[in-house]
Amino acid sequence: LTVPKFMKNNIKYITVLVLFALAGATTFFYRVERHTQANAVNLSAIPTVIGEWRMVKQDTSLGAKEEKFLDDVLIRTYQRPDGKTVMLAIAYGADQRKKFSVHLPEVCYKASGCTVEPTGYSTINSPLLTLKQLLAINPAGWVEAIQYWIVLGGNVINSDLDWKLKYAYYGAFGADAGGLLVRISTLVENGNNKIDYEVQKAFISDLYQELTPELKKLLFGTYSR
């Protein structure tokens, strides 16, 4: 089949236009991502009183290993009047070219000797958020219910695939947008982790209500409500 000359010229012309459009789009998104890096953060500014929860323990120290790729970390334990406790752990890295993925809870808990079981995803309406759920079983026998989310370049990551694609993108273009991981966990009582997940969701909603607009954007992403 012979393609007419005018069609060949049109195909070449369209191909050139597509290539220019792709190049322009890549440059645009690259510039946008380069400017989404968050300013210096102070996680300690998160309130110590969140609804009926009161902080009873805090750790903001960075180990020698963490200092290589994290800029701030906050680990707090909050307690309710009835004695129930929730642990809040936040890790922030301003430059996602530094292998922030090593701090995924699955990796950390397995490294500490726990068996980790993914239990799916859940959602919250206020703030609008998707949470990844895990169970960590310690060799000593206790079970920890975990929910976490990741904010990368100001946007919440909604799935493992989304995380992998975004991480590959940042690696390919060398973008330095900030990334933040927020983990909420509780020790499971009476073997019912579903109750613990609901307790955690209530804590997250209370946390959101107590934050300044700047901290809301940092912890819950640009489009949280």
pLDDT at 133 over 70: yes
Q: Give the span between the Cα atoms of 2 and 129, in whole angstroms.
A: 55
Q: In 3D, which of 130, 148, 132, 134 has the Cα closest to residue 90?
A: 148
Tell me the CB-side half-sphere exposure of residue 159, using CA atoms within 13 A.
3
pLDDT at 84: 96
pLDDT in tens, 3-18: 555 455 555 555 444 4
Which ranges of the chain would DSSP assign to H, the alpha helix? 5-34, 105-111, 160-173, 193-210, 213-220
pLDDT at 150 over 80: yes
**What are residue 131's phi and psi, to 5 degrees?**
-115, 140
The CA distances from residue 93 to 5, 73, 80, 125, 212, in Å, are 55, 9, 30, 27, 20
pLDDT in tens, 152-204: 878 888 766 766 666 666 665 555 567 889 999 999 988 899 999 999 999 99
Which residue(s) pair with 93 in the sheet?
A: 179
Q: In 3D, which of 43, 71, 26, 62 has the Cα closest to residue 175?
A: 26
Give the count of beta carbons closer than 10 Å to the beta carbon of residue 177.
Answer: 22
pLDDT at 21 over 60: no
pLDDT at 19 over 50: no
> Which segment of 16-25, 95-104, 205-214 scores lowest on mean pLDDT?
16-25
pLDDT at 31 over 80: no
Q: Give the span between the Cα atoms of 113 and 136, in whole angstroms.
A: 10
pLDDT at 115: 95
pLDDT in tens, 58-116: 988 766 666 666 778 899 999 999 999 999 999 888 765 555 554 789 988 998 999 99
Calculate mean pLDDT across residues 120-142. 92
Looking at per-residue pLDDT, the higher value among 74 and 223 belongs to 74
Q: What's CA 72's distance to the chain center, in Å? A: 14
pLDDT at 93: 80
Q: Model pTM?
A: 0.76
Looking at per-residue pLDDT, the higher value among 141 and 5 belongs to 141
Looking at per-residue pLDDT, the higher value among 120 and 2 belongs to 120
